[in-house]
Amino acid sequence: MIRLSHVNYAYPGKQVFSDLNVTLQDRGAYALMAPSGAGKTTLLRLISGLTAPQGGTVEGLENKRISFLFQEDRLLPWRTALENAALAADRDQALQWLANMEITDLNAYPRELSGGMQRRLALARAMAFGGDVLLLDEPFKGLDEALRARIADKIRGVFPLTVLSVHDPEEAALMGAEIIRLG
């Protein structure tokens, strides 16, 4: 179980969280919903351990392997689709997840892919990495409704715990996620 207790976090001139308490079970899916700027990405960073709370505690991350799909795709422009996906896993895992994400041109460079394909490539890399916790920051950005449904079907339930940030309750429903409203 991951527990955020009495967490405080602020950026210069903006309080994001004040006395935030959230408990995430070790299994299941949770969708963080809030308007833009309300702290969804910050909460994912706190859960991942990339950002430390300025007050309070985050517990339960010990011995957990965390895979993180950032809001930005963070692809290496000098690497092909296969090379980008294989950064996080062996070639066979990378190939499997590229196929699952419907990426067929394995030798394409990120600049040669559409925005939606770049997003799916970043998702393939995160999925191939594996682990105990999957953090997804706007995973369906740039994907049409039919593609979102197909991709959600491939990633739902693969990791014991999935936490995603979304703006649309339908995206939370696609992942079978319990909604946590922020803000």
- CA–CA separation, 42 and 143 (whole Å): 23
Residue 167's pLDDT is 87
Tokens of 92: 């066979």
Strands 161-166 and 178-181: unpaired
Residue 36's pLDDT is 86
Give phi and psi for 176, each to the nearest 5: 60, 35
Chain-wide mean pLDDT for the chain? 95
What is the percent of the chain where pLDDT is above 90? Answer: 94
Q: Bin 168: left if φ > 0, else alpha if -120 < ψ < 50, else beta.
A: beta
Q: Measuring CA to CA, which residue among 52, 57, 60 is closest to residue 24?
A: 60
User: What does the pLDDT look like over 28-60, one tens digit per residue?
Assistant: 999 999 988 889 999 999 999 999 999 999 999
Give phi and psi for 83, each to the nearest 5: -65, -40
Q: HSE (CB half, 13 Å, CA atoms) of 154?
A: 21
Task: Give the angle subtended at the CA of 173 by the CAs of 170 and 175, to the nearest 5°.
Answer: 120
pTM score above 0.85 = yes
Residue 35's pLDDT is 86
User: What does the pLDDT look like over 64-73, one tens digit per residue?
Assistant: 999 999 999 9
Measured between alpha carbons, how far apart are the two ends of the chain, in Å? Answer: 23
User: What does the pLDDT look like over 104-134, one tens digit per residue?
Assistant: 999 999 999 999 999 999 999 999 999 999 9
Give the pLDDT band of residue 91 (cuts 50, 70, 90): very high
Residue 183's pLDDT is 74
Mean pLDDT value across residues 82-99: 95
Give the pLDDT band of residue 63 (cuts 50, 70, 90): very high
pLDDT at 155 over 80: yes
- CA–CA separation, 102 and 105 (whole Å): 9
